[in-house]
Amino acid sequence: MAMANEEKLVEELVDQEDNFSQWYNQLVRKAELADYAPVRGCMIIRPYGYAIWENLQRLLDARFKETGVDNAYFPLLIPRSFLEREAEHVEGFAPEVAWVTRGGGEELEEPLAIRPTSETIIGHSFAKWIQSYRDLPLLINQWNNVMRWEKRTTLFLRTSEFLWQEGHTAHRTHADAEERTRMMLEVYRSFAEEDAAIPVIPGRKSENEKFAGALRTYSIEAMMGDGKALQAGTSHNLGDNFARGFDIQFLDADGQRKHCFTTSWGMSTRMIGSLIMVHGDKNGLMLPPRLAPYQVVIVPIWRKEQEKAAVEELVSRVEKQLKGKVRVRVDWSENTPGWKYNEWEMRGVPVRMEVGPRDVQNNSVMLVRRDNRVKESVPVEGLEVRLPQLLAEVQQAMYQRALQFRLDNTYSTESYNEFKEIIASEKRGFVRVKWAEDSAAELAIKEETKATLRCIPFDQPEGGIQGNCIYTGKPATCEAIFARAY
């Protein structure tokens, strides 16, 4: 008997519609993704949450390596003088840097910053490593932690310490740097859409929103389940700003000494927050199969001891059959089957496999999808074919569902009054408007509506823009997307 998809079975979880942020916070903790730490603004990532991170790392790292990037590791502590070498950079990060001022019981001569990001200390190394145009491009990534002293924190979305990767590259020409910046944004886009099943809008950040010290910042923007926007990855073209600050020079083929052009790009544990808010529903998490720690949870069912023995035999046979093909977890705990169904749905496992006496009799198993609770009985022999197929279907359906949600909550308007109504409404959403790239107008809109310019999407109308800026009335130069953001 199939249950209605709308039926809510996890009673303890508040409704998304009632209080989205409370739903989020409860879920992070009930699903055992993370916990609050004894240190203000920091979090403890629990094994289930960390397993998602490991899957993300593995898939994203492979995508980086396909583009020729190598991994390395740079120090946690950065000399103060380094941060000060790029004027905009220091100004942008100064308020949120944590400092080490004492060590070994003594005051340090030069305070050390706990890295908020590593452009500076990596720039210092790049200057030593790069001598010739033959040394370029230099393509480095590091998986690490960074610290930014945030005033207001939320698990995964904004914590004082967080895990991420930061890629740093150096190039011979500005065009090469720009190409790499866009290439890495495309890596993020494909990862988000194909692995995380999160549809995103790639685009360029406004001057106000760009990275401190960057020439240009690109980002992918995703819509969360409450209609708010979340920046899911960024890629910066740093021009020669940092190369000049750190003397990253090379001798070009023409015999001239020149400054490099550098880029940096990052994706963080915030992505896990994004997974929760994009895919989660009233019953809890819904994890895309490619990132789920367990793709299938087996729930054994039995009454009598002899039934249990037969079920055990079938379960172990299935486990062996799927080993190395599908990530499987068997729940042998003493909870009732119904309890397990709810528990693993809340924790977002994409497919549940029920194995009971009836299945033993038929030499089959019952598969149930997390996303729509559709059940199917599958013969054991076909499992290692059918299951990966089903997981791919779930992955695709999750992407489509998220995309449809974003489309349903994306608006286009030429009236600023309507713009304000949409942003102020319950569903929020993205608003796409004609725009003249005026920073003062952008700040005014933020002041008046709390909406920020998320990006100027790459996807622009063909044949240029007709009409005027929604705020200033000046001739529009592009279309821009505004939204309330996390």
Nearer to RNA (CB atom), residue 302 or residue 416: 302
Using left for φ > 0, alpha for ψ between -120 and 50, and beta otherwise, residue 342 falls in alpha
From the list 171, 140, 120, 123, the residue with the least C-alpha distance to 73 is 140
427 sits near RNA (criterion: CB under 7 A): no
152 sits near RNA (criterion: CB under 7 A): yes
Nearer to RNA (CB atom), residue 231 or residue 263: 231
Interface stretch with RNA, choices 48-56, 75-83, 274-282, 331-339 (CB under 7 A): 331-339
For the bound state, the minimum distance from the C-beta of residue 455 to RNA, rounded and expressed in Å, comes to 10
12 sits near RNA (criterion: CB under 7 A): yes
For the bound state, the minimum distance from the C-beta of residue 404 to RNA, rounded and expressed in Å, comes to 23
Indicate which single residue of 1, 320, 462, 466 sits in contact with RNA (rule: CB under 7 A): 1
221 sits near RNA (criterion: CB under 7 A): no
Q: What length is written for the chain?
A: 486
Distance between CA atoms of 354 and 297, rounded to whole angstroms? 8
From the list 171, 203, 169, the residue with the least C-alpha distance to 186 is 203
**Given the DSSP bridges, would you call strands 375-379 and 410-412 parallel, antiparallel or unpaired?**
unpaired
Instruction: Judge whether 184 and 152 are in contact, CB under 8 Å.
Output: no
Interface stretch with RNA, choices 134-142, 205-213, 405-413, 462-470 (CB under 7 A): 205-213
Interface stretch with RNA, choices 148-156, 289-297, 421-429, 461-469 (CB under 7 A): 148-156
Indicate which single residue of 14, 16, 25, 194 sits in contact with RNA (rule: CB under 7 A): 25
For the bound state, the minimum distance from the C-beta of residue 465 to RNA, rounded and expressed in Å, comes to 25
Interface stretch with RNA, choices 318-326, 338-346, 379-387, 396-404 (CB under 7 A): 338-346
For the bound state, the minimum distance from the C-beta of residue 249 to RNA, rounded and expressed in Å, comes to 26
Indicate which single residue of 52, 248, 287, 355 sits in contact with RNA (rule: CB under 7 A): 355
Q: What CA–CA distances, in Å, run from 176 to 169, 234, 254, 264, 454?
A: 10, 18, 18, 13, 26
Q: What is the DSSP letter of 326?
A: S
* 469 three-class SS: coil
DSSP element (H, E) containing 110: strand 106-114
Distance between CA atoms of 157 and 159, rounded to whole angstroms? 7
The site that binds RNA (CB under 7 A) totals a number of residues, namely: 67
From the list 103, 110, 116, the residue with the least C-alpha distance to 79 is 110
373 sits near RNA (criterion: CB under 7 A): yes
For the bound state, the minimum distance from the C-beta of residue 117 to RNA, rounded and expressed in Å, comes to 6
Indicate which single residue of 283, 295, 409, 449 sits in contact with RNA (rule: CB under 7 A): 283
Interhelix angle 383-408/270-279, nearest 10 degrees: 90
Interface stretch with RNA, choices 17-25, 272-280, 285-293, 406-414 (CB under 7 A): 17-25
For the bound state, the minimum distance from the C-beta of residue 282 to RNA, rounded and expressed in Å, comes to 11
73 sits near RNA (criterion: CB under 7 A): no
For the bound state, the minimum distance from the C-beta of residue 171 to RNA, rounded and expressed in Å, comes to 20
Indicate which single residue of 65, 325, 358, 427 sits in contact with RNA (rule: CB under 7 A): 358
Q: What CA–CA distances, in Å, run from 145 to 29, 76, 104, 160, 243?
A: 22, 8, 23, 10, 24
Helix spans in 323-377 (H)? 337-346, 357-362
From the list 354, 344, 250, 357, the residue with the least C-alpha distance to 9 is 344
209 sits near RNA (criterion: CB under 7 A): yes
Q: What is the DSSP letter of 4?
A: P
From the list 271, 262, 266, 186, the residue with the least C-alpha distance to 222 is 271
Indicate which single residue of 6, 106, 254, 334 sits in contact with RNA (rule: CB under 7 A): 334
359 sits near RNA (criterion: CB under 7 A): yes
Instruction: Judge whether 370 and 351 are in contact, CB under 8 Å.
Output: yes
For residue 268, how many other CB atoms are within 10 A of its CB? 25
336 sits near RNA (criterion: CB under 7 A): yes
Nearer to RNA (CB atom), residue 92 or residue 388: 92
For the bound state, the minimum distance from the C-beta of residue 433 to RNA, rounded and expressed in Å, comes to 20
Binding site for RNA (CB under 7 A): 1, 3, 9-12, 21-22, 25, 36, 40-41, 92-93, 95-96, 117, 146, 148, 150-155, 158, 164, 166, 205, 209, 211-212, 217, 219, 231, 234, 266, 268, 270, 283, 301-303, 334-343, 345-346, 352, 354-359, 366, 368, 373, 450, 485
